[in-house]
Amino acid sequence: MLDSVIVGNVFREIRERKGLSQEVVSGLADIGRTHLSAIERGERRPTLDTLFKLAAALNMPASEIVREMEAALKRSEENGSGIENYFK
Amino acid sequence: MLDSVIVGNVFREIRERKGLSQEVVSGLADIGRTHLSAIERGERRPTLDTLFKLAAALNMPASEIVREMEAALKRSEENGSGIENYFK
DNA sequence: GCTGTCTGTCAACATTTGTGTTCAAACTTG
DNA sequence: CAAGTTTGAACACAAATGTTGACAGACAGC
């Protein structure tokens, strides 16, 4: 699935919006730093457990994070994320 | 974690509220039925992927499902789900 | 009784998540 | 430039998720 990239970007955007490093967030969430890195790049799909841990570390409700993911996924459907839009 | 039982119950309650069988939901979500059974009993922790699939099958936003989980988790903290409340 | 539906559970298996370490690349700041 | 911070990437490994098939128990209605 290509969606994991979009999902990962949501994690990244929230983290950067708060000005936190991967090291700090992964430390608060009690997960490995390289793991968080992989999640943000869309190379790992977190479990619900990890979602809740990251939500706590980012100090916001997990449901809010998922809402942003739904919005991002919807955008990518509308705009199209196919190869034909890659050079616009 | 004991939370997985609470999380699983949310999936179950939503499914039963809609009067759907595990077979129908797992079929729509394209996951194994025994897998869904294990999730509902709290013996498996779904990935975000599986959450989105189940949300689509249950015809409701994933964020809404997570909201119900947060509410259920909060309730279990307040009421206490420790062993001391087990016999009340 | 019998039949069909739904669910729990087991087992074996493939796949993926998650952990630890290590190193290199990019970037900022003094 | 040099030093420090941050992140990407590649390992090997342990642990968990997810798949498939099969079988048993519970429960309803005929």
pLDDT in tens, A28-54: 999 999 999 999 999 999 999 999 999
Distant-in-sequence, close-in-space partners of B31: CB < 8 Å, separation ≥ 6:
B50, B53, B54
Residue numbers in A 55-84, CB below 7 Å of strand C? none
Give the Cβ contact number of residue B16 at 10 Å: 12
Return the percent helix, strand and coil in chain A, to nearest 5.
Answer: 70, 0, 25
Do residues A27 and A55 make contact, with C-beta atoms less than 8 angstroms apart?
no
* pLDDT number for residue A87: 41
N-term to C-term CA, chain A: 23
* pLDDT number for residue A81: 54
Give me the domains of chain A, ranges plus CATH numbers. Answer: 4-78 (1.10.260.40)
CB contact under 8 A, A51 and B49: no
Q: Which of B48, B64, B70 sits opposite A7 (nearest CB)?
A: B48
CB contact under 8 A, A47 and B49: no
Q: Searching chain A, which residue's CA lies closest to the CA of residue B74?
A: A61
The model's confidence at residue A83, banded by pLDDT at 50, 70 and 90, is very low
DSSP A21-35: -HHHHHHHHTS-HHH
Residue numbers in A 59-88, CB below 7 Å of strand D? none
The number of angstroms, rounded, from the C-alpha of A47 to the middle of its chain's C-alpha atoms is 12
Confirm whether any atom of chain D, the nucleic acid strand, is less than 7 Å from CB of B33. Answer: yes
Locate tokens 């990518």: which residue? A76
Residue B87 has pLDDT above 80, yes or no: no
CB contact under 8 A, B48 and A49: no
Confirm whether any atom of chain C, the nucleic acid strand, is less than 7 Å from CB of B1. Answer: no
Q: Which of A54-58, A76-80, B6-10 has the lowest mean pLDDT?
A: A76-80
The number of angstroms, rounded, from the C-alpha of B19 to the middle of its chain's C-alpha atoms is 15
Q: Which of A4, A47, A69 sits opposite B45 (nearest CB)?
A: A47
Q: Which of A9-13, A78-82, B25-29 has the lowest mean pLDDT?
A: A78-82
Measured CA to CA in angstroms, residue A36 lies from A9, A28, A54, A57, B84 at distances of 11, 12, 9, 12, 37
Do residues B74 and B4 make contact, with C-beta atoms less than 8 angstroms apart?
no
pLDDT tens per residue across span B9-44: 999 999 999 999 999 999 999 999 999 999 999 999
